[in-house]
Amino acid sequence: MSTPMTTVAPRTVTTEQRHWRNAIFVIFALSGVMISSFAARLPAARQALDVDPGQIGLLILCISFGAILGLVVAPPAAQLLGHRVGISAALIVGSVGLALAGAGATLWGNIPATVVGLALLGFGNGAVDVMMNVSGAAVERRIGRTILPFMHGCFSVGTVIGAGIGAGAAALNVPTWAHLAVIALVIVVTVVVAVRFIPTRVEEPKAQASVGGAAESALRRAQRSVIERIVVWRDATLVLIGVVMLGMAFAEGSANDWIALAAVDQHGATKAQGALVLDAFLVAMTIGRMAGGPLVDRLGRATAVRITAGLAVVGLLLFILGGRPEVFVAGTVLWGLGASLGFPLGMSAAADDERNATTRVAAVAMIGYLAFLGGPPVIGFLADHVGILHALIIVLALVLASFFCAPALRHREVSSPRPSR
């Protein structure tokens, strides 16, 4: 069993910390808006490019590949630029990619331009994912309350906002390129305002002295981070955290990709009902993240993940086996609640050691993105042979692995240095 508290003891929140926390809430929401805005206009992009669903799938894959590159670049970028500038740069690059993808697809009808735009969109989102989680985990420790799940809930809210604006723009026949360009501009302006409250450095500096006793150069820190990304996996605890992230990323990603289709094809729901089943999952997951902090503070990260992973197991079983609507819909809700906390708490646990938090978060985030990247084709391959519902058994097995590896998320006592401005 984990200790009752997963952060330091609650303390009075300073004005500086409150501004920092609120800025990270905004950054998470902006990331959600950015990634969902293009998804909402995907039908228009497909029509303008005149491509089939398989080719659209390859285009979407560009986002994932860009995101993985962003994860790789994030640690040295944070070392060189600091988190304030790094977060700004990542969201600006992603916004440029969003606008370019919209123009490339629907204004120019140019696939190469669309590919470049989507890769930049993914790159910016992957890089900011690491840095906003590290900064979020740092302010969480300063405040002494579990707030990282709520931050991930802000991301979910951002996706709902982005998709809602996209649906409205489509209904009003607003050109896709114009809609996405405006969204990109709003993101850039908002992030420039918000990052003023985020510290430049949120990690504990390592004492490194040169021959002359001068501080270690930024270039040297960036070079060292490359080595750290390799040797960090010698930490067995981090490997187990990675297993938790893998299972929970699969649980979330497989629902996003397959739950509506499974409801229609194998549970007999209509297309509209299938969309509502997916909405039920997303709402349940958002509620779990928004309300999960007090549960974590009371029971500890490990116990909280075991409870939610257990809910996900029950939910998956009900969804896979239940033929009646009330059964598989109840399973959907439990699946969403169960998938809500594992990913953000894995990020929080990876960032416990502030001396190399960015490297550790990037490492476990890479596992999560690989699950999002590899999950759809793996389940699709199995579904061709055994059906979607039976293919989801692999998700069930990975969630069980997360359940058994949850003790790795227990809080590690680390120092909490004052952030430099």
Q: pLDDT digits over 369-407, tens only? A: 777 767 767 777 787 788 888 989 999 999 999 999 999
Residue-wise pLDDT tens digits, 45-58: 888 998 876 677 67
Burial class (CB in 10 A: 0-12, 13-18, 19+), 152: buried
Decide: 247 and 342 in contact? Cβ < 8 Å: yes
Other CB atoms within 10 Å distance of the CB of residue 204: 17
Residue-level length of the chain: 421
Place of tokens 């409150």: 18
Decide: 70 and 123 in contact? Cβ < 8 Å: yes
Ramachandran angles phi, psi of 340, nearest 5°: -75, -35
Place of tokens 């084709």: 377
Decide: 46 and 102 in contact? Cβ < 8 Å: no
Name which of 392, 391, 389 is nearest 265 in CA terms.
389
Give 311 or 57, the one with higher predicted confidence. 311
Decide: 102 and 38 in contact? Cβ < 8 Å: yes
Provide the 3-class DSSP secondary structure of residue 205: coil
Ramachandran angles phi, psi of 11, nearest 5°: -140, 170
Please report how many Cα atoms fall inside a 13 Å half-sphere around the Cα of residue 396, on the Cβ side.
16
| 269 pLDDT tier (thresholds 50, 70, 90) | confident
Q: Report the percent of the chain where pLDDT is more than 70.
A: 85
pLDDT at 421 over 70: no
Query: What letter does residue 355 receive in the DSSP assignment?
Result: G
Residue-wise pLDDT tens digits, 200-216: 877 655 434 343 444 45
Please report how many Cα atoms fall inside a 13 Å half-sphere around the Cα of residue 5, on the Cβ side.
10
Rounded Cα distance between 140 and 21, Å, is 8
Strand partners, 209: 215
Rounded Cα distance between 381 and 349, Å, is 33
Decide: 113 and 228 in contact? Cβ < 8 Å: no
| 187 pLDDT tier (thresholds 50, 70, 90) | very high
Domains of the chain plus CATH, in order, are 15-204+218-409 (1.20.1250.20)
Please measure the distance between the N-terminal and C-terminal CA atoms of the chain and give it in whole angstroms: 38
**Alpha helix locations (H) across 196-270?**
218-231, 236-265
